[in-house]
């Protein structure tokens, strides 16, 4: 009772005020800009926005339609290899298939080769977090404390490098392109480096420090689904091995959708292909390693050019067209309502 009595204000003492200070800021008396909307300003904003969006949308759609693209689905055309890969015990057996196609017109400019996957959910939550970013930076970490499990260590305790479900499921088909000119077969030169972002090569992915890569990854083992260790991903270029391998980096950037494409190679513009790909007969020779039958997936190989706004996806242009159409229609609706109300106002004034 005495403690409660001490908390009460004594007689004659002023009670503390809970009101905010009498300042312009706390009393919300600061000057503010209050736009006075008129019918002219409202209509002009809607029509100008609609005209801008429609113009940009038309330009984007026309640019996307100007992209030259060839897409080949080889899931069924390589059915023999697909059946072989359904049995995991055949992982060390090679299987090759060839797919012929014809270019009726020249594809001029830079030509990019993509591989596409369908019904592969890289956006699954458990799949997305199944990686160790610290390990990919070349640090010596305890991956058992990461989210890589069950692709973190083998039963004997040997750690996997790289660990995680993303790395373990890396796309590993080998795709070569050949040009059939008259009676000769010419291999199209493809560039396998320079396909990743600068920040990936220099910030997000680094190899462990050592005098060579094989010693840097000593004491580790390749993921279960890989055919070769990480330091031998590119036997032709030592600088394209380990965690800084371009194919590995591109795969580790997960897709937001179940159907996606990833950059695989770029056509080197040299000799006969200096201007691009000439018209004629071509052949894709594929070393089939990546199984898709178990998850009912499909595999594609795509040859495509790019324009100033990107590839052949017209989504952005359609979005601008829809937004511009909506803004323009809204402007006409507001105009009709305004004219109708003005006629009523004029009529009542005459009365």
What is d(CA 209, CA 138) in angstroms, rounded to the nearest whole number?
7
pLDDT number for residue 93? 83
Which residues have a Cβ under 8 Å from the Cβ of 4 and sit 6 or more positions away? none
Q: Give me the domain span that covers residue 160.
A: 54-316
Let me know if residue 222 belongs to a domain.
yes
Nearest to 308 by CA among 50, 102, 90, 66: 66
Token reading at 179: 């040009």
Positions of the chain with pLDDT under 70: 1-16, 345-351
Let me know if residue 35 belongs to a domain.
no
Phi and psi angles of residue 124, each rounded to the nearest 5 degrees, phi first: -65, 135
SS3 276: strand
pLDDT number for residue 351? 59
Let me know if residue 325 belongs to a domain.
no
- Nearest 5°: the CA angle 226, 178, 303 is 75
Which residues have a Cβ under 8 Å from the Cβ of 316 and sit 6 or more positions away? 60, 309
Let me know if residue 97 belongs to a domain.
yes
Phi and psi angles of residue 107, each rounded to the nearest 5 degrees, phi first: -105, 105
pLDDT number for residue 84? 86
Nearest to 99 by CA among 303, 266, 312, 306: 303
Tokens 């100033």 locate to 308
pLDDT number for residue 10? 64
pLDDT number for residue 44? 93
Let me know if residue 341 belongs to a domain.
no
Q: What is the DSSP letter of 238?
A: G
Let me know if residue 240 belongs to a domain.
yes
How many whole angstroms from its chain centre is CA 253?
Answer: 7
Q: How far is CA 128 from CA 35, 279, 317, in A?
A: 47, 41, 30
- Nearest 5°: the CA angle 245, 253, 110 is 70
pLDDT number for residue 55? 97
The shares of helix, strand and coil residues in the chain, as percent rounded to the nearest 5, are: 35, 20, 45
pLDDT number for residue 343? 75
For the chain, what is the radius of gyration of the CA atoms?
32
Let me know if residue 6 belongs to a domain.
no
- Nearest 5°: the CA angle 195, 201, 204 is 125
**Helical pair 315-350 and 39-65, crossing angle rounded to 10 deg:** 160
**194-222 burial, b if ≥16 CB within 10 A, otherwise e?**
ebbeeebbeebbebbeeeebeebbeebbb
Let me know if residue 145 belongs to a domain.
yes
Token reading at 67: 């992209």
Number of domains in the chain: 1
């Amino acid at each position: 009772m005495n403690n409660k009595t001490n908390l009460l204000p004594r007689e004659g003492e002023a009670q503390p005020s809970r009101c905010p200070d009498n300042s312009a800021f706390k009393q919300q008396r600061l000057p503010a800009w209050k736009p006075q909307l008129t019918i002219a300003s409202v209509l002009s904003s809607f029509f100008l926005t609609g005209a801008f969006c429609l113009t940009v949308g038309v330009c984007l759609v026309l640019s996307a339609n100007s992209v030259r693209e060839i897409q080949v689905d080889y899931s069924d055309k390589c059915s023999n290899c697909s059946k072989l890969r359904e049995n995991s015990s055949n992982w060390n057996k090679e299987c090759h298939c060839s797919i012929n196609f014809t270019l009726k017109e020249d594809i001029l400019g830079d030509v990019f080769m993509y591989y596409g996957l369908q019904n592969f959910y890289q956006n699954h939550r458990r799949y997305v977090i199944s990686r160790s970013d610290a390990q990919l930076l070349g640090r010596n970490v305890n991956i058992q404390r990461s989210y890589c499990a069950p692709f973190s260590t083998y039963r004997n305790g040997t750690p996997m490098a790289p660990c995680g479900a993303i790395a373990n499921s890396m796309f590993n088909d080998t795709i070569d392109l050949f040009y059939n000119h008259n009676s000769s077969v010419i291999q199209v030169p493809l560039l396998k480096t320079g396909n990743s972002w600068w920040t990936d090569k220099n910030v997000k992915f680094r190899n462990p420090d050592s005098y060579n890569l094989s010693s840097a990854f000593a004491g580790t083992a390749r993921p279960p689904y890989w055919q070769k260790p990480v330091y031998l991903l590119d036997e032709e270029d030592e600088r394209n091995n380990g965690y800084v391998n371009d194919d590995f980096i591109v795969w580790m950037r997960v897709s937001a959708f179940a159907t996606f494409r990833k950059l695989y190679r770029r056509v080197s513009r040299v000799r006969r292909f200096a201007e691009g790909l000439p018209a004629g007969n071509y052949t894709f020779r594929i070393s089939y390693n990546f199984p898709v039958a178990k998850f009912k997936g499909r595999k594609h190989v795509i040859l495509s050019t790019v324009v100033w706004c990107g590839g052949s996806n017209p989504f952005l242009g359609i979005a601008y067209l829809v937004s511009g159409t909506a803004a323009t229609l809204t402007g006409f609706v507001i105009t009709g309502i305004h004219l109708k109300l003005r006629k009523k106002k004029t009529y009542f004034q005459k009365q």
